[in-house]
């Protein structure tokens, strides 16, 4: 019996060591993905379109501005996209990168490398990126406009630390993290109007409404809930304890946050800014969207599958 336990212990130890070794060896897995046929332009109209996307529905400033400029972002003003924000997640610390054309930012990246990272979730060195950006299905025209604006910004020197993954994060990176690409053919361009079709494009492929208003696994980014039914919980530690904020249901069900809202009420809400303390909604950038863009999103949300999922609005004390 002693020999059995002895050998069982040895086998278990070897399995554990093998797992740790596999995790270590799989931290630099390379993935292949094509480089989109997208190039930056110096045309002023293209750059202006890119700026309207970057500081509007794409809300790049919410993650890629420096933490000290949070108030400016909330007010919907232009800020340098110099990065530096840190996201403390169950898998470790993730740092938003510098997107200015400085050498510490995107200055040494080609247009194709930037476009590939946004569309296919593969970094310039071939690693998979965590799926927190919604640009997999963004049209070639809009992707070109975004990159054109990023190229046109003033350079801002800010070296950003590498992500600091904990043991769980290293396990996720080794075995679960894979690139996420388009879910079908990507349009060369899209018609900008007030239709539900354009609203779907904005909500899913630019503004990332689905990314927050659909429950998902914060370790891998994988969706676990019904589209737009809310339920994604953000924990916010504070000196007085931990509070949580859960994203509301945006489906046209009677338990949805928008049930009974008119189109004008929807537009007016985006002009008011944050009303719920601690809201993760990028109200500043979204307040810069045009009435037509908001009309299109409103019409699209009216077409999604109704899901019964009552969500309490506001901060909730945990424990």
Give the list of residues 6+ apart from residue 138 with CB closer than 8 angstroms, or none.
118, 119, 146, 186, 205, 206
As a whole number of angstroms, the distance between CA 131 and CA 190 comes to 23
CB of 296 closer than 8 Å to CB of 209: no
pLDDT (tens, 9 = 90+) of the chain, 319 residues, equals 666 556 666 767 777 777 778 788 899 999 999 999 999 999 999 999 999 999 999 999 999 999 999 999 989 999 999 999 999 888 999 999 999 999 999 999 999 999 999 999 999 999 999 888 889 999 999 999 999 999 999 999 999 999 999 999 999 999 999 999 999 999 999 999 999 999 999 999 999 999 999 998 876 678 899 999 999 998 877 777 788 899 999 999 999 999 999 999 999 999 998 888 888 899 999 999 999 999 999 999 999 999 999 998 888 877 6
CA-based Rg of the chain, rounded to a whole angstrom? Answer: 21
The per-residue pLDDT for 237 is: 76
- Residues 243/312, Cβ–Cβ less than 8 Å: no
Nearest CA-CA partner of 296 in 167, 203, 186:
203
Are residues 115 and 36 in contact, defined by beta-carbon separation less than 8 angstroms? yes
Report pTM. Answer: 0.91
44 CB-near residues (< 8 Å, 6+ apart): none
User: What span, in angstroms and rounded, lies between the C-alpha atoms of 215 and 225?
Assistant: 5
For residue 270 the two structure tokens come to 């985006």
Q: Which of 252, 294, 251 is nearest to 272 (CA)?
A: 294
| Closest C-alpha among 71, 73, 97, 75 to residue 84 | 97
Both tokens of 41, joined, read 């332009």
Give DSSP secondary structure letters for 108-154.
TS-HHHHHHHHHH-B-TTSPBPPS---GGG--HHHHHHHHHHHHHSP
pLDDT the model gives residue 244? 86
pLDDT score at 178: 92
């Amino acid at each position: 019996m002693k020999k059995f336990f002895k050998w069982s212990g040895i086998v278990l130890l070897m399995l554990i060591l093998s797992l740790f070794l596999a995790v270590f060896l799989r931290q630099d897995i390379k993935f292949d993905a094509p480089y989109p046929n997208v190039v930056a332009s110096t045309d002023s109209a293209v750059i202006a379109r890119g700026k309207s996307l970057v500081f509007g529905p794409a809300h790049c400033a919410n993650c890629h501005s420096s933490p000290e400029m949070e108030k400016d972002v909330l007010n919907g003003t232009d800020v340098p996209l110099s990065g530096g924000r840190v996201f403390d997640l169950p898998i470790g610390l993730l740092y938003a990168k510098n997107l200015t054309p400085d050498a510490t930012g995107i200055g040494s990246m080609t247009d194709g490398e930037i476009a590939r990272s946004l569309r296919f979730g593969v970094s310039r060195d071939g690693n998979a990126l965590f799926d927190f950006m919604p640009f997999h299905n963004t049209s070639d025209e809009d992707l070109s406009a975004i990159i054109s604006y990023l190229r046109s910004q003033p350079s801002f020197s800010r070296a950003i630390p590498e992500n600091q993954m904990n043991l769980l994060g290293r396990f996720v990176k080794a075995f679960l993290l894979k690139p996420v690409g388009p879910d079908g053919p990507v349009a060369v361009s899209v018609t900008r109007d007030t239709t539900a079709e354009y609203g779907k494009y904005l909500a899913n492929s630019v503004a990332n409404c689905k990314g927050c208003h659909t429950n998902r696994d914060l370790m891998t980014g994988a969706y676990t809930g019904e589209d737009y039914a809310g339920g994604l919980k953000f924990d916010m530690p504070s000196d007085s304890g931990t509070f949580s904020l859960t994203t509301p249901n945006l489906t046209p069900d009677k338990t949805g946050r928008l049930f009974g809202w008119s189109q004008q009420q929807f537009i007016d809400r985006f002009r008011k800014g944050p009303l719920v303390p601690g809201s993760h909604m990028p109200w500043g950038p979204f307040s810069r969207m045009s009435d037509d863009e908001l009309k299109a999103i409103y019409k699209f949300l009216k077409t999604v599958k109704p899901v019964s999922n009552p969500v309490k609005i506001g901060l909730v004390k945990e424990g």
